[in-house]
A and B are shown apart, each in its own frame.
Chain A
Amino acid sequence: MKNAKPNRVKAKGLDVGTSFINCAENRGKRVNFRAIRNSFFDIENTNFTKRMLQRTGINYIKRDDRLYIIGDEALEFANIFNKEARRPLSGGAVSPREKEALPLVEVLIKSILGRANHKREPIAFSVPGEPIDAKLNLTYHKTVLSETLSRLGYAPKPINEGLAVIFSELNDKNFTGIGLSFGGGMVNVCMSFMAAPVFSFSISKSGDWIDDQAAMAVDETNSKVCAFKEANLDLSKTKGLSRMEKALSIYYRNLTEYVLRHLKKKFENTKEMPELKKPVDIVIAGGTSLPKGFLQLFNRMLKRVKLPHAVGKVKMAGEPINAVANGALISAIAEETKE
């Protein structure tokens, strides 16, 4: 006889990324995702600007004498004023030095999550792996997010970003494989065996780094490069490339190779590696992996780097942008059911 299914648990998954904050919550069997661009643009708080924002329905936060426009509109405003929009997270984590940004992150999280459905509603939030090429205060990041979520009535638990990708995409492989999340600020990598992380790390170069480098190469603003990248970039194209396409392709290749070389190193240096009988699958998620042809480029680089263990299938996540939040949600529900 089949066991009776446990009552559906209400839970949430949160992906706090450099570029987007994404929340997943279960609605029956399906999941609802809510995302907002993690950027802000500050303008002076005058009656006029305030009224104008209210009239046009643009979301803003008022703090001291500034108004902070948030989300996609922040980019639009930055364009109007020919300036760059600001990011509350630097290099993938809440920085102790960004005192101005911290309250904004809190408000954004609060607004995207809404109130907890019940007291101590489980929530899993993504945290980056230990960075191998940068100094990052992960404890601070984790504590700040944990405290914020607790204040909102949730029972927060951190989950590694790469592992979340595996939870979301590799259920048919018993959650064994490698998850890569190419975000805005970082690339997160995690190798998992039977849902248990074997190793994880993060790299502090990703989409923003590509934008920076390409912008410098073609003498354009980061925003323009980013807009082009998100709308038009095709990495499978080899002929008739514009200057911007050439620059972006070079830095995409460079980044992918850099990530794979570190992955190879990690494979070689991990002492307690489980005995893997089958080739491991790799799953890729994150906004930076969205351009057409990225998977082919990754495969080409993979052949060049040659990992010490056989690689099975390399695939893109079903919904690359939402995979981390989805994985976090799965983890939150499973943990709760277990308890």
Chain B
Amino acid sequence: MINLADLRAKDLEEFRALCLKAFKRLGYSVWLSEKLNGKASASSILLKNDERSLVQCSQDKGLVDISLIKDFCQDLKKKGIESGFFITTGVVRLADRAYLSSEPVDFIDAKKLPLFLETIFGEDGLKKEVSRGFERREFPRIDLRGIGEDKILWQANTFYGTTSPIKGEIADISSGGIGFESLDEIPVSSLLKLELFLYGSRQAVKSVARLIWEKPRGDSLAHNFGLSFFLIGDKDKERISDFIKSQLPPEPLDFTKSSLESNGASPEFLLKLLVEKNIIGKMVSGLHDRKSREVRRMSEVDIKKAENSIKRFFKKVVLKKCKILDLYKTATGWEALAKKIDDWFEKRGYREVYEKTIYLVRLDDKFKVLSYSKVAGNYIPKSGDLIVSPPIGTDKIREIVKEVAKEISGGNGSNIDQDTLKKIAAEAVDELEKRRKGENLWKKEDEEVAIKESYMSPLRELKIERNFGRIGKVKRGKKDIESQVDSLRGVKKGKHR
């Protein structure tokens, strides 16, 4: 059985969150929660089957003062609510209960509370809830500050007064609602028509939402607002959950030595690591859309296919050239593992390419790379040539090794000596600092790869994509144009009236 002292040790907000969670499991929804503002107790209005109930949570020790209960009963009458739950960690006297027996209040006090919670959460579940701290937020929340516009377009209108939408920036979203910042004045409890266009979704999510809280921002005149979905369809709920899932970071890979070894420390695993760290992506991102003479003659679709094929091909050869594994071996000392991975590449016939070298690539009719050969820097491309250079430099190799080594050294089973660790850590901190400052760690010349010369015609560059043909609202004029033209012609010929 749960110890009451544990419940009293939590702050009131956490305690209330746990109680409300219990009620939600019983099918209630939370309609309105009173702000705590340093009070000793806090009430919330619950809703079930269109009936309202008032619940008050307080953390008391010993006997509960009857005046608190009387206040609660008065509050109940004032708000016109039919029933109430008085939850306390203290004890309500039997005499007080008898005195208040005519009131529509259920008392859940120290004697009943542990059993009440355990019945709902189960013994282990309750222990878990208490030990990990009560989750105040029911739904995971995605912070969208600064990037909201790229992820969600939203519109909210009040049901009253002006028809213009509320102006503001979305700050976060969860399955339960959204947070936003606005200069508009919107009263708490207002119902709003809310439309959300979520990234990747085909339809707008439409709901009626209720403004549940409002807080002034210290640094500007804007206020922060919280909207809770009030009426929302199941499909729309699903769309929001899918969107949130898609925005949550993936489960981190386990890079500990034991995990690597238990995974067979396969090259695939290492590749996954590199891809996840966005290293592979960066290496092949250099194939820009500058086109060689030959490419210029190809259709857009073919160019795309050729580029993808070259990217795939060089992803492999670049990996080999990077000699990740040699450096990996040096950094970690895991010779056996390095050899295993090296063998994997060799068996698959990966060849070396040299950084900062220009290659002449030939493709077959299915855009598969047939051959590639080194050419001189001043090579002039002929018809049929695709001139590329793999986007790789020494700096990038160092970067890759650093990333891999950093990940592994962060694991519990690392056997890297202390000096190496310190060196890696210092570099990692340095790099993090640079990232924080927004410095691009990748040198421009490393990313500029591709295709050496541009034969793009200026007209082609002006070909701008648009999603419309002829535009403009058509209005029919009232005047007779022919008589006006005749007059002008007449005046110009000197036949004026």
Contacts and interface: CB of A to CB of B under 8 A. Distances in A.
Given A61-B466, A112-B471, A322-B477, A175 B491 contact: yes
Most buried by A among B150, B164, B462, B488: B488
Contacts of B444: none
Interface string A119-141: 00000000000000000000000
Given A167-B488, A175-B488, A55 B202 contact: yes
Contacts of B497: 174
Interface size class of B (residues with CB under 8 A): 35 or more
A43 B467 CA distance: 15
B343 to A, nearest CB: 40
B442 to A, nearest CB: 18
Contacts of B475: 32-35, 322
A117 B398 CA distance: 62
Interface in A273-317: none
Interface in B151-173: 151, 153, 155, 164-165, 167-169
Interface in B447-497: 462, 464-485, 487-489, 491-492, 496-497
Contacts of A329: 481
Given A63-B464, A80-B153, A334-B488, A30 B165 contact: no
Interface in B367-386: none
B199 interface: yes
Contacts of B197: 48, 52
A44 B165 CA distance: 22
B129 interface: no
A51 B204 CA distance: 12
Interface of A is mostly: mixed
A47 interface: yes
A319 B477 CA distance: 8
B149 interface: yes
Interface in B285-335: none
A32 B469 contact: no
B413 interface: no
Contact of A337 (B199, B462, B489): B489
Contacts of A31: 476-477, 479, 481
B167 A326 contact: no
A26 interface: yes
A61 B465 CA distance: 6
Given A171-B484, A195-B488, A80 B466 contact: no
B187 interface: no
Interface in A2-33: 5, 8, 21, 23-24, 26, 29-33
B477 A62 contact: no
Contact of A194 (B476, B477, B485, B496): B496
A103 interface: yes
A43 to B, nearest CB: 7
Instruction: Name the residue in A47, A70, A171, A333 with the highest tally of chain B Cβ atoms < 10 Å from its Cβ.
Output: A171
B27 interface: no
B450 to A, nearest CB: 17
A87 B473 CA distance: 19
A236 interface: no
Contacts of A35: 472-473, 475
B200 interface: yes
Contacts, number: 151
Given A36-B471, A79-B167, A80-B167, A52 B492 contact: no
Given A47-B200, A174-B497, A54 B467 contact: yes
Interface string B121-153: 000000000000000000000000000011101
A96 interface: no
A290 B121 CA distance: 69
B415 to A, nearest CB: 44
Most buried by B among A5, A36, A48, A107: A48
A114 interface: yes
A54 B201 CA distance: 13
Interface in A95-124: 103, 106-108, 111-112, 114
Contacts of A26: 481
A219 to B, nearest CB: 13
Contacts of B168: 82
Of residues B164, B470, B484, which shows the largest number of chain A Cβ atoms within 10 Å of its Cβ? Answer: B484
Contacts of B200: 47-48
A49 B480 contact: no
Contacts of A271: none
A24 B477 contact: yes
A201 to B, nearest CB: 23
Contacts of A5: 482
A115 to B, nearest CB: 9
Contacts of A114: 470
Contacts of B462: 103, 106
Contacts of B470: 34, 111-112, 114
B464 A171 contact: no
Contact of A334 (B465, B472, B477, B485): B485
B462 to A, nearest CB: 6
Interface string A62-84: 11000000110000000111100
A29 B483 CA distance: 8
Contacts of A107: 464, 466
B481 A33 contact: no
Contacts of B478: 30, 318-319
Contacts of B467: 53-54, 59-60
A30 B485 CA distance: 12
Given A51-B202, A71-B471, A32 B485 contact: no
Nearest to B462: A103
A80 B155 contact: yes
A23 B472 contact: yes
B151 A48 contact: yes
Contacts of A112: 470-472
A266 B362 CA distance: 71
Contacts of B151: 48
A249 interface: no
A103 B487 contact: no
A80 B471 contact: no
Nearest to A35: B472
A46 interface: yes
Contacts of A33: 474-477
A319 B497 CA distance: 25
A330 interface: yes
A326 B328 CA distance: 75
B225 to A, nearest CB: 15
A32 B479 CA distance: 11
B466 A62 contact: yes
A168 interface: yes
B466 A111 contact: yes
B480 A43 contact: no
B167 A34 contact: no
18 contacts: A29-B480, A29-B482, A30-B478, A30-B480, A46-B199, A47-B200, A48-B151, A48-B200, A48-B201, A53-B467, A60-B466, A63-B465, A79-B165, A112-B471, A194-B491, A322-B477, A334-B489, A337-B485
List the 9 closest A-B pairs by CB distance, nearest first.
A34-B472, A31-B477, A48-B199, A62-B465, A171-B487, A174-B496, A59-B468, A82-B167, A334-B488
Given A30-B477, A48-B201, A111-B468, 13 more contacts: A5-B482, A29-B482, A30-B476, A34-B472, A35-B475, A51-B202, A80-B153, A107-B466, A108-B471, A167-B488, A175-B487, A318-B479, A330-B485
